[in-house]
Amino acid sequence: MDLFPEENLEPIIVLMLAIVSIFPLIRSDLIPWFEHIKLQQKNFKSLSGSSKINACELTFSEILNGDLLELNLIKQKFHQYPTKVCAYFEQTDLRFRVYFDKGLSIELPKFFNVGYEEVDESPSYPKNTNEYIVAQFDIDGDGIDELVLGVIDCEEQLHNVQLSVYKFHPPLFAEDLNRIQNWQSLGTLTAHGIAYSLQL
């Protein structure tokens, strides 16, 4: 019995190597490019070095040590816009809360599925290597800033990033400021395998 088949397997081996090597390219280049195209289709602005963005960030370890991720928001065209947004750890996860002038506040739901420890049973805790972002920026170009809540999973050399974008619709009456119906989720954007340092 021959140990080596008579057929030339070299083309098949080359094809298999090409398929295996394309996955890192998809993660590091094609997926972020596709997310960028989706933003353009929604007429969202791109963040560049000259973009005016109000933002702050902290690591999860800093938040656990008592530091408060707090962003004082820039006033907008209407007086009922929130004044600040804070992030803090409570029980098993990080929470984001928005505050208004009248002493009212509301927790914004986040839609993160990156940056959590892999466990067989819930709850799943955030990774100690996470970094969290709170930002204010006019993404859709309507003259009113949106809020961006983000997480950067920095555990591996290739980072995973996820951003949740919210638009605020002011209510007619001040007593309705803390209704979740005033907030519209514009979507959650995810980029896997970012190979460079992320900076605001």
**Run of H or E residues at 61:** helix 60-64
Task: Check if the beta carbon of residue 190 is closer than 8 Å to that of residue 114.
Answer: yes
The answer to whether 28 touches 158, Cβ cutoff 8 Å, is: yes
Q: Is residue 3 part of a domain?
A: no
Instruction: Give the Cα-Cα-Cα angle 192, 193, 199 (nearest 5 degrees).
Output: 90
pLDDT value of residue 49? 41
Tell me: pLDDT of 186 over 80.
yes
> CA-CA distances (angstroms) from residue 198 to 22, 29, 47?
24, 15, 13
- Domain residues for the domain of 168 are 10-194
Report d(CA 194, CA 156) in Å as an integer: 10
**Is 107 a member of any domain?**
yes
Considering the entire predicted model, what is its pTM? 0.70
In a domain, 38, yes or no: yes
In a domain, 139, yes or no: yes
Mean of the pLDDT values across residues 58-86? 90
Q: In the predicted model, what is the mean pLDDT of the chain?
A: 78
Is residue 76 domain-resident?
yes
* Residue 199, domain member (yes or no): no
Cβ–Cβ under 8 Å, residues 19 and 26: no
Mean pLDDT of 109-130: 85
DSSP 8-state assignment for residue 28: I
Domain count, the chain: 1
Strand ranges for the chain from DSSP E: 54-59, 69-72, 84-90, 93-99, 105-108, 131-137, 146-153, 159-168, 183-194
Q: How confident is the model at residue 183 (pLDDT cuts 50, 70, 90)?
A: very high
- Tokens found for residue 94: 């990080």
Average pLDDT of span 172-190: 89
Q: Does 47 reside within a domain?
A: yes
Structure tokens at 138: 């006019």
- 15-55: per-residue pLDDT in tens? 555 554 544 544 445 555 555 555 555 554 444 444 467 88
pLDDT of residue 134: 92
Q: Within a domain: residue 96? A: yes
How confident is the model at residue 25, as a pLDDT? 46
